[in-house]
Amino acid sequence: MSDTGTVTSKADRTRGKAARPSLWLTVLSLTAFALLIALGVWQIERRAWKLALIDRVEQRVHAPVQPAPAPAAWPTITAANDEYRHVSVTGRFLHDRETLVQAVTEEGGGYWVLTPLQRGDGTLVLVNRGFVPTERRDATTRQAGNPEGQVEITGLLRITEPKGGFLRNNVPQHNRWYSRDVDAIAAARGLHEVAPFFVDADAGSQSASGPIGGLTVIRFPNNHLIYALTWFALAFMLAGKLFVTFGGGLFRRRRFVHEPAGGPDAAARRTGSDAGTIVEQA
C-alpha cells in the first residue's frame, strides 16, 4: 500500500509540474498585460488632447475676423496655434498665376482654385477661392467670375500641405497637384515673398460665376475612447487567463480520500495501516 501511495504522489507531482506555465511565458504574459494597460491609458490621454483641440478650433472658427498675420509673424505660425483662425486679407488677385489642386467635395470631384493675392506691401498670400468641377478646369470658362482690382477676402487660415495627398505626390513639372503645398506652388509659379499658409475663402467671399467657397471640412475623428476600452478589455481577458492558469497551483492542497466502509482498504485502516490513504491532490 505504501508503494501505491508513493507512485500516486509522484505521478500527481509530475502532472502538477507539467501544468505550471514556464517562466518565460509568465514574464511574456505579464509584459503584455502591462503594455495593454499602457496603451489604454495613452488612448485616454489622446482623447483628452483631441477634445481640447476640437474646442480650440471651434472657438477660432467662430471668433471675429482678424487681419491675416503680417510677414513679421510668419516664422512663428504653427498648426497648433494658428490653423483655422478666421482671418481677412486685402489685395489684388493675380489670376494668371492660379493653380488647380485636385479635390473631392460634397459638390463632387474637381479642383480647388488657388490664386495668389498681392497685398499692398507686395507680399503674397495664396487664397483657395473654392471649388470648380472638372468641366470648368479651363480658366477661360470662368473669367467672368474673376474679380479685378482691390478685394477683401475672409476665410480660414490653413497650414501648408507639403509633398502631396494620400498615396499621391505632387508633380510640379507636369502641373499635377494633389495637395496645397505653398512652397512648391510658389516655386512653380515664380512667386516670391509668399506667406507660409493659405486662406480657404468662405462663401461670402465668392463672386458670381466664380469658384464655390466655404467648403472647408472641419472634422477630427475621435475614436480614442473605443480604442481605450478595447485595450483595457484585452488586458482584463489576459488577466483572467493568468488567474486561471496560476490559480490551480496556488490552491492545490492535500485531502483525505474517503472510501466506503466495505472498501478493499477498510481492513488495512482498521489494523492501523494508513499507507496510501493520503494522496497528493493534483
Tell me the pLDDT tens digit for each residue of 194-253: 999 999 999 888 877 789 998 887 776 778 788 888 988 988 888 888 777 766 555 554
pTM of the model: 0.66
The span from the CA of 110 to the CA of 128, in Å, is 14
pLDDT band of 21, cuts 50, 70, 90: low
- Residue 62, in any domain of the structure: no
Decide which of 156, 172, 205 is a domain's last residue: 205
Residue carrying the nine cell digits 467657397: 213
pLDDT band of 155, cuts 50, 70, 90: very high
Would you say 136 and 98 are in contact if contact means Cβ atoms under 8 Å apart? no
**Under DSSP, is residue 125 helix (H, G, I), strand (E, B) or coil?**
strand
Is the pLDDT at 274 greater than 50? The verdict is no
Is the pLDDT at 122 greater than 80? The verdict is yes
- pLDDT score of 192: 95
Same domain (yes/no): 90, 201: yes
Decide which of 140, 170, 205 is a domain's last residue: 205
Same domain (yes/no): 92, 200: yes
What burial letters (b/e) apply to 58-87, b meaning 16+ CB within 10 Å? eebeeeeeeebbeeeeeeebeeeebbbbbb
The span from the CA of 104 to the CA of 117, in Å, is 24
Same domain (yes/no): 169, 258: no
- Residue 211, in any domain of the structure: no
Same domain (yes/no): 155, 123: yes
The single-letter code of the amino acid at 273 is: S
Would you say 170 and 184 are in contact if contact means Cβ atoms under 8 Å apart? yes
- Residue 185, in any domain of the structure: yes
- Residue 215, in any domain of the structure: no
Same domain (yes/no): 98, 182: yes
- Residue 219, in any domain of the structure: no
Same domain (yes/no): 134, 172: yes
Range of the domain at 275: 2-46+224-279
Would you say 89 and 69 are in contact if contact means Cβ atoms under 8 Å apart? no
Same domain (yes/no): 144, 191: yes
- Residue 116, in any domain of the structure: yes
Closest Cα partner for 95 from 180, 211, 174, 187?
A: 211
The span from the CA of 162 to the CA of 151, in Å, is 28
Same domain (yes/no): 169, 198: yes
Same domain (yes/no): 106, 140: yes
- Residue 110, in any domain of the structure: yes
Decide which of 155, 178, 205 is a domain's last residue: 205
- Residue 59, in any domain of the structure: no
Same domain (yes/no): 253, 196: no
Same domain (yes/no): 103, 175: yes
- pLDDT score of 84: 92
Same domain (yes/no): 132, 188: yes
Domain count, the chain: 2
The arithmetic mean of pLDDT across residues 12-25, rounded, is 59
